[in-house]
């Protein structure tokens, strides 16, 4: 391991990440990026601060890539090794994967012009196609939203019923008339562990225009309240369309950190939005050793 590993900071609609370039898996191999190190990196006072960590690594150097990618392993040169701020793994991250591609381009590991039609990136939820958009942002084909029941989140003594939706990772998307800005999300919502045995990301959603425009706040599994969630935006868009009696459509999703667009079709879901790099540098060996 180099003594001062390279690091970038960036965000997608203010869902922010510590990005660790490690193309050949030599910087953060073995258990160097263990849960405790992820927590230290994401600490907003004693570390760099972030909702999670993204390691830029080739799939060939990720021990669990063959199991999660199967026959698609060879087609996915790159793997988004994502961690939540608490050190846990998540299957998928919609804001993170746009930043992942942006960082690969910024690091000179991919040519942006060659990404217009998208490149296949490995994730623990399977392969996802991510591309550079003409407006300077990025799009990602997230795969179909998969509904798996109805549940409710309990928050501040109130019940928020909603749709259980998988975007690779689990979501409860609750459309509500309660102004989401009035909610206290400093504490985790309670949920039905039978429906969500691996935990859940909870989206509280106000519909601004039926089937076309929503705004949301989100409490993420493994993180807490975040300023945005790409997979959560997809789950919310799907729930909003279903409530409008539709299975297809384009929904603008306003999050505290900006705006995302979600296009839902019967076969898939395409998420579009920005990715921003804020800083590049290196980790101090003394801090890492501490």
Consult the annotation and say whether 158 binds a ligand: no
If one asks whether residue 221 binds ligand LBFN2T5F (CB under 6 A), the answer comes out as yes
Start-to-end CA distance of the chain, whole Å, equals 16
The residue (of 211 and 222) whose beta carbon lies closer to ligand LBFN2T5F is 222
Stretch that binds ligand LBFN2T5F, among 87-95, 127-135, 152-160, 254-262 (CB under 6 A): 87-95
Q: Which of 230, 257, 258, 273 is in the footprint of ligand LBFN2T5F by CB under 6 A?
A: 230
Q: With binding defined as CB under 6 A, does residue 169 bind ligand LBFN2T5F?
A: yes
278 neighbors 50 (Cβ within 8 angstroms)? no
Contact 65, 79 (CB under 8 A): yes
Hey, what are 48's tokens?
A: 């760099």
Provide the 3-class DSSP secondary structure of residue 207.
strand
How far is CA 29 from each of CA 40, 55, 57, 244, rounded to the nearest angstrom?
17, 11, 10, 48
Asked whether the beta carbons of 104 and 93 are under 8 A apart, the reply is no
Q: Per-residue x/- mask for ligand LBFN2T5F, residues 194 to 213, rule CB under 6 A?
A: -------x------------
- Residue 186 · residue 225 · CB < 8 Å: yes
For ligand LBFN2T5F (CB under 6 A), the number of binding residues is 17
Residue 186: other Cβ atoms inside 10 A: 8
Region 88-117 residues binding ligand LBFN2T5F, contact defined as CB under 6 A: 90, 93-96
For residue 189, state whether it binds ligand LBFN2T5F (rule: CB under 6 A). no
265 is in an annotated binding site: no
Question: Looking at 102-110, 143-151, 185-193, 214-222, which segment touches ligand LBFN2T5F (CB under 6 A)?
Answer: 214-222
Catalytic residue, candidates 42, 76, 115, 229: 229
Task: Please tell me whether residue 263 binds ligand LBFN2T5F under the rule CB under 6 A.
Answer: no
* In the block, residue with structure tokens 């258990």: 31
Residue 15 interacts with ligand LBFN2T5F (CB under 6 A): yes or no: yes
Is 95 marked as binding a ligand? yes
Cα-Cα-Cα-Cα dihedral sign, residues 279, 283, 284, 286: positive
CA separation (Å) from 154 to 23, 43, 184, 190, 234?
42, 28, 12, 5, 22
Residues in contact with ligand LBFN2T5F by CB under 6 A are 15, 84, 90, 93-96, 169, 201, 220-223, 226, 229-231
Active site residues: 93, 229
């Amino acid at each position: 391991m180099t003594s001062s590993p390279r690091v970038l900071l960036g965000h997608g609609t203010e869902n922010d990440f510590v990005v660790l370039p490690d193309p050949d898996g030599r910087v953060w191999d073995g258990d160097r990026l263990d849960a405790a190190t992820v927590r230290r990196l994401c600490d907003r006072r004693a570390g760099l601060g972030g909702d999670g960590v993204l390691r830029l690594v080739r799939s060939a150097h990720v021990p669990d890539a063959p199991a999660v990618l199967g026959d698609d392993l060879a087609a996915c040169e790159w793997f988004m090794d994502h961690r939540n701020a608490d050190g846990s793994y998540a299957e998928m991250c919609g804001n993170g994967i746009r930043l992942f591609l942006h960082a690969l381009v910024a690091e000179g590991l991919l040519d942006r012009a060659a990404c217009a039609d998208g490149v296949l990136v490995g994730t623990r939820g399977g392969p996802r196609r991510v591309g550079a958009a003409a407006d300077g942002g990025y799009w990602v084909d997230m795969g179909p939203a998969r509904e798996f029941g109805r549940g409710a989140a309990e928050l501040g003594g109130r019940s928020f019923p909603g749709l259980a939706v998988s975007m690779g990772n689990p979501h409860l998307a609750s459309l509500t008339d309660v102004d989401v800005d009035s909610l206290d999300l400093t504490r985790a919502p309670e949920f039905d562990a039978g429906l969500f045995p691996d935990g859940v990301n909870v989206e509280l959603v106000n519909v601004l225009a039926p089937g076309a425009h929503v705004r949301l706040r989100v409490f993420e599994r493994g993180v807490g309240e975040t300023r945005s969630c790409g997979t959560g935006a997809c789950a919310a868009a799907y729930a909003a369309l279903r409530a409008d009696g539709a299975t297809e459509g384009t929904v603008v999703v306003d999050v505290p950190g900006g705006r995302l667009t979600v296009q839902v079709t019967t076969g898939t879901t395409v998420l579009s939005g920005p990715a921003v790099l804020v800083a590049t540098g290196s980790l101090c060996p003394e801090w890492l050793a501490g």
